[in-house]
């Protein structure tokens, strides 16, 4: 009798788990994957994809307004929330099927159910146990719950994708990318929206100027932003409205309160503790450069490690793990210069070091900036400002970071990220001709350093 039933058992059918499972099978491994919900994980079901679809929907009202300046007679004559949700659900169901077919075609055994570890090589699903040479934890993350009186009256971003109807007034709690995105979505769809954050600027992990300028632009688009506002209590009023009280004694009413104060890894209650796996303070699995935990046979990727909670990072980790275990190519993950975007209104994207981070590392830097009203807005009343910034090593000329706030920021930074990853210098940026007239050309035409 073989010592192991499988070469790899994967817990979780999100982007990272699916990539690891099918690529491992491609290398000839015997693989099973367990998923109790829908394939695709957070990104496909309650994250990147539906959020971007909602973001598109939220931009149309503004687009209609701008269109009149270009001679079009059009206006938003009404918005059907249920139509958007139904069409979103149809697309998500299609993607769920795509992920499952990828696994089936790769020869991965699919197990529908919640998997738990019995020991370092044994996993139980639906009353049956499997012995695996390697076990992969790819269980993703879940939104934090608000630990204040009345915190159970709030919804999370997971819930926001399935609302029966839009509220008239919404309060979004948080200052990260999820809070900024949903505040922009609600406001764009006509909801009276307030964003309350205990800190002093949005997106504290990003370049400081991006967070500061985003707050200004969101304010122009109708979002009321309150800084230094830490919620301490939520009460439901007689008419059904919710009143949120803050640490400074003030309060505000809304019909819906969205708690967007972060996410935590789904690593508890699946048997990891009994195996001796080491966790960090947030409950994430501690892994080495090759994604191995403190237990020889157990690995973890994606949000379960709480490193960079981004879908492309999880899929890259899944690929690296498959190469390491079954491809004969030990592959360590490279987390330098990972680009990312925030689909707020306006969009925001970044790659590389922020100005503060570069200086904190002891680098002497030159900073280049551009702020302008995009050509698209030149015929309208919009005062929206596009902002771009390059952080450059003053000694080598290498571009350490590129940051943008404005329409299609993610699309533009994706291209710039290639140059930053390759170690391009400011002189090489300058030697690149721009495409005129575009916003992106500003990245190769900035010549004067900022004060």
Task: Give catalytic residues, as residue numbers.
Answer: 436
Q: What are the two backbone dihedrals, phi and then psi, of residue 353, each rounded to the nearest 5 degrees?
A: -85, 140
H-type alpha helices, 327-448: 355-360, 409-421, 426-431
DSSP 240-269: S-EEEEETTS-EEEESEEEE-S-EEE--TT
Q: Which helix (H) or strand (E) holds 25?
A: helix 15-26
Three-state DSSP class for residue 209: helix
The CA distances from residue 136 to 24, 41, 104, in Å, are 11, 15, 19
Q: What are the two backbone dihedrals, phi and then psi, of residue 247, each rounded to the nearest 5 degrees?
A: -60, -25
Nearest alpha-carbon partner for 146 in 233, 63, 207 = 233
The CA distances from residue 388 to 111, 182, 373, 434, 450, in Å, are 47, 23, 12, 15, 12
366: which strand partners? 392
Nearest alpha-carbon partner for 301 in 100, 10, 5 = 10
Q: Are 254 and 171 in contact (CB under 8 A)?
A: yes
Relative to beta strand 298-300, strand 128-137 is parallel
Helices and strands (H, E) in the chain, number of each type: 12, 21
DSSP annotation of 336: T
The CA distances from residue 64 to 136, 225, 297, 341, in Å, are 48, 25, 56, 25
Q: What are the two backbone dihedrals, phi and then psi, of residue 108, each rounded to the nearest 5 degrees?
A: -80, 135
Residues whose CB falls within 8 Å of the CB of residue 249, separated by 6 or more in sequence, listed in order = none
């Amino acid at each position: 009798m073989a010592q192991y039933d499988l070469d790899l058992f994967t817990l979780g059918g999100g982007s990272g788990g699916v990539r690891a499972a099918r690529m491992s099978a491609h290398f000839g491994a015997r693989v099973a994957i367990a998923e109790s919900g829908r394939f695709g994980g957070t990104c496909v079901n309650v994250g990147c994809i539906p959020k971007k679809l909602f973001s598109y929907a939220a931009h149309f009202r503004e687009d209609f307004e701008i269109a009149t300046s270009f001679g079009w007679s059009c206006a938003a004559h009404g918005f059907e929330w249920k139509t958007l949700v139904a069409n979103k659900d149809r697309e998500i169901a299609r993607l769920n099927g795509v992920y499952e077919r990828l696994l089936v075609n790769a020869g991965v055994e699919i197990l529908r159910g919640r998997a738990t570890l019995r020991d370092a090589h044994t996993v139980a699903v639906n009353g049956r146990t499997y012995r695996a040479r390697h076990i992969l934890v790819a269980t993703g993350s879940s939104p934090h719950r608000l630990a204040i009186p009345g915190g159970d009256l709030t919804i999370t971003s997971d819930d926001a994708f399935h609302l029966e109807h839009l509220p008239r007034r919404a309060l979004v709690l948080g200052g990260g990318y999820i809070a900024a995105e949903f505040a922009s979505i609600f406001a764009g769809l006509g909801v009276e929206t307030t964003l309350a954050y205990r800190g002093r600027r949005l997106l504290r992990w990003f370049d400081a100027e991006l967070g500061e300028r985003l707050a200004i632009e969101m304010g122009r688009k109708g979002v009321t932003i309150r800084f230094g506002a830490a919620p301490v209590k939520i009460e439901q009023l007689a008419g059904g409205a919710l009143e949120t009280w803050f640490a400074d004694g003030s309060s505000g009413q809304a019909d819906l309160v969205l708690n967007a104060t972060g996410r935590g890894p789904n690593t508890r209650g699946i048997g990891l503790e009994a195996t001796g796996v080491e966790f960090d303070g947030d409950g994430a699995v501690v892994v080495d450069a090759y994604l191995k935990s403190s237990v020889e046979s157990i690995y973890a990727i994606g949000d379960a490690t709480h490193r960079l909670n981004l879908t492309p990072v999880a899929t890259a980790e899944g690929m690296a793990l498959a190469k390491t275990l079954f491809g004969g190519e030990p592959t360590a993950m490279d987390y330098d210069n990972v680009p990312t975007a925030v689909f707020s209104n306006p969009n925001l994207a970044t790659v590389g070091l922020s100005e503060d981070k570069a200086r904190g590392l002891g680098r002497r830097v030159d900073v280049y900036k551009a702020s302008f009203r995009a050509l698209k807005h030149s015929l309208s009343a919009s005062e929206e400002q596009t902002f771009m910034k390059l952080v450059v090593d003053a000694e080598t000329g290498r571009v350490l970071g590129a940051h943008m706030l404005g329409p299609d920021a993610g699309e533009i930074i994706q291209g710039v990220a290639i140059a930053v990853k390759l170690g391009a210098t400011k002189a090489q940026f300058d030697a690149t001709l721009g495409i005129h007239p575009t916003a992106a050309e500003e990245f190769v035409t900035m010549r004067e350093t900022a004060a």
